[in-house]
Amino acid sequence: MSWHPQYRSSKFRHVYGKPASKENCYDSVPITQSVQDNHFCAVNPHFIAVVTECAGGGAFLVIPLHQTGKLDPHYPKVCGHRGNVLDIKWNPFDDFEIASASEDATIKIWNIPKQLLSKNITVCRKELVGHARRVGLVEWHPTAAGILFSAGYDYKVMVWNLDTKERVIMSPVKTIDCHQDVILSMSFNTNGSLLATTCKDRKIRVLDPRAGTVLQEANYKGHRASKVLFLGNLKKLLSTGTSRWNNRQMALWDQDDLSVPLTEEDLDGSSGVLFPFYDADTNMLYVVGKGDGNIRYYEVSASKPHLNYLTEYRSSFPQKGIGVMPKRGLDVSTCEIFRFYKLITTKSLIEPVSMIVPRRSESYQEDIYPPTAGAQPSLTAREWLSGMNRGPVLVSLRPGCELLSPRPLPPESAPSTPTAPASPHLTSQMEKLVAEDGQRPFSLPEEKSPKWTPEHRLEEKKAWLTNGFDIFECPPPKTENELLQMFYRQQEEIRRLRELLTQREVQAKQLELEIKNLRMSSEWF
């Protein structure tokens, strides 16, 4: 009987990592020297924030995403903590609000101005005071607006409601006091009804974040977990840590039964912490090692074998921390499905690395971009605290597409979508092209459009108007491909006008010649 190898059919088998060119990196960035096992970097479609060194307290930098190249050594900082900043996280529903945790036992909420920073920001919007020792982790709730979780070295997880008028909040709405040692990581499931934590006491816990009760607890001795992650809607947990022989290891768990892992996989003998990242849209898992230059990635399936190794991105520059761009900030025209921002302390450099699915077509690839979580909450803080659960509001990544969820909840401070400003010159060019071609560029086909009521369309239309200009009627080019297409079309139009002008000139010369002949004939008579 002959042996036939088992081949898996996967559209992500050939995904590859593409580092940004030198001019598209962020150079001369003073990255923190802290030994905390955190990301030290947070990214959204407008800004990249990175923890930095600062004399006399803690600070972090907020750099506009388009401001690549060498950073000014006197670039303004966000500095208001009395101790080192240990963790930073952007509000998922407001691209201009960020939370920071510090060794001074406080959490601060900052408003970042839309214009370029001209001086240091020292006054925060809110200050959360409740921990007895330094705060190592902060996490925003994935679906509820204004709910923030913090974990401190006092072994407590605190739940904060930011939907209040007080600038200084002295007491959280809930304190979870079930850990016996320092909390190392926190992760929410898709709708935020469950919270998973890892602790220095080597236990993984699944908690009810509102009641503060422990639903599941892992006492498995063969795996010392440092980071934990919910795997979307698969009802599984992934943890990274070390085995009893001190090899770096991954373990997959059933979230309803943490007695024994479903599978374990040893990676190598290095000592750096492994940071896991999961993309629920593509079912891909990325594992980034602190102190490594490589990024391993896997495809996760509900059936055995659960973890299918694809390949790894290799680099000779080790990363101290890592940031991840939300899906709504990716470049869909290049088939980019994930983007990392590597903090390379040896070169004071932040290097973007794009994970790309190789496709020949430049059109929008519907199969690799399913509906994803958008920048709009599905619950208010009061609704979530009262016991309601709801999944995220979904959006399509197709350029110019609308919300897909049936009941979007308008946030208190409207989040902005990354849309380039349209200049009057560009607008006139686009309108001219629309008038000539008789079609609207970058619009959805009629059958692909979501079914909305006329009243809802009218409300959405109001939100699209910027200074009386409809950004979806004729949007400016967002990618290099779109810009090139517009350039080629303009060149074609110029060529056509020149040909027309040449024809008119020939006709004018012929008319002049005929008139001259007529005059000569009349004079002869």
Q: Which helix (H) or strand (E) holds 305?
A: none
**C-alpha–C-alpha distance, residues 225 and 223, integer Å:** 6
- Mean residue pLDDT of the chain comes to 83
Edge-to-edge strand ranges of the sheet holding 147-152:
135-140, 147-152, 157-161, 174-176
Pick the more confident residue, 131 or 524. Answer: 131
Give the separation between CA 385 and CA 141, rounded to whole angstroms.
Answer: 11
Closest listed residue to residue 107, CA positions, set 44, 156, 72: 156
How long a stretch of residues is the chain?
A: 525
Region of residue 156 (left: phi > 0; alpha: psi -120 to 50; beta: else):
beta
Looking at the predicted structure, is the pLDDT value of residue 418 above 50?
no
Q: What is the spatial distance between Cα 134 and Cα 512, in angstroms, rounded to a whole number?
A: 90
pTM of the entire predicted model: 0.75
pLDDT by residue (tens digit) across 325-368? 999 999 999 999 999 999 999 999 999 999 999 988 778 888 89
Going across the sheet that includes 58-64, the strands are 41-43, 47-52, 58-64, 78-81
- Please state the rounded mean pLDDT for residues 82-87: 93
Burial label, 418 (beta-carbon count in 10 A; 0-12, 13-18, 19+): middle
Helix then strand then coil, in percent of the chain rounded to 5, is 20, 35, 45
Q: Please report the beta strands in 314-413, taking only residues with DSSP state E, as ranges in sequence order.
A: 321-324, 336-344, 349-356, 372-373, 394-395
Confidence at residue 88, expressed as pLDDT on a 0 to 100 scale: 96
In 3-state terms, what secondary structure has residue 280?
A: coil
Burial 91-124 (b: 16+ CB within 10 A, else e): bbbbbbbbbbbbbbbbbbbbebeeeebeeebeeb
Place of tokens 């007080």: 166
Q: What is the mean pLDDT of residues 260-265?
A: 92
Contact 198, 228 (CB under 8 A): yes
* pLDDT digit string, tens, across residues 212-258: 999 999 988 889 999 999 998 899 999 999 998 889 999 999 999 99
pLDDT, one tens digit per residue, over 121-179 is 999 999 999 999 999 999 999 999 999 999 999 999 999 999 999 999 999 999 999 99
**201: nearest Cα among 187, 188, 219, 228:** 219
Structure tokens given for 338: 């994930």
Mean pLDDT: which of 5-14, 324-333, 444-453 is highest?
324-333
pLDDT at 81: 92
Whether residue 486 is predicted with pLDDT greater than 90 in this model: the reply is no
Higher pLDDT, 360 or 74: 74
Q: How far apart are CA 326 and CA 42, in angstroms?
A: 10
Give, as one character, the DSSP assignment of residue 379.
B
Q: How far from chain centre, in Å, is Cα 31?
A: 21
The CA-atom distances, in angstroms, between 204 and each of 79, 224, 241, 252, 286 are 34, 9, 11, 12, 20
CB 175 within 8 A of CB 157: yes
The whole-angstrom separation of Cα 331 and Cα 369 is: 11
Question: 407 vs 232, which has greater pLDDT?
Answer: 232
Rounded Cα distance, 487 and 160, in Å = 51
pLDDT at res. 484 = 67
Per-residue confidence (pLDDT) for residue 280, from 0 to 100: 93
Residue 48 predicted with pLDDT over 60: yes
How many angstroms separate the CA atoms of 477 and 430, rounded? 10
Q: Report the percentage of the chain scoring pLDDT > 90.
A: 62
* E-assigned strand segments in 280-426: 284-289, 295-300, 307-313, 321-324, 336-344, 349-356, 372-373, 394-395
Which residues, 6+ apart, have CB-to-CB distance to 492 below 8 Å? none
178 Cβ neighbours under 8 A, 6+ residues apart: 205, 207, 212, 213, 214
% of the chain with per-residue pLDDT over 70: 82
d(CA 78, CA 320): 21
Query: Which has the closest alpha carbon to 387: 211, 213, 214?
Result: 211
pLDDT of residue 452: 41
Q: Is the pLDDT of residue 476 over 70?
A: no
Please give the Cα distance from 225 to 16 (Å, whole number): 28
Q: Which of 182, 345, 356 is nearest to 284 (CA)?
A: 356
Peptide bond between residue 305 and the one before it cis (omega within 30 degrees of 0): yes
Q: Using CA atoms, how far apart are residues 448 and 399, in angstroms rounded to an integer?
A: 13
Q: What's the longest Cα–Cα distance across the chain?
A: 119
pLDDT given at position 416: 40
Q: Which residue has the higher pLDDT, 402 or 268?
A: 268
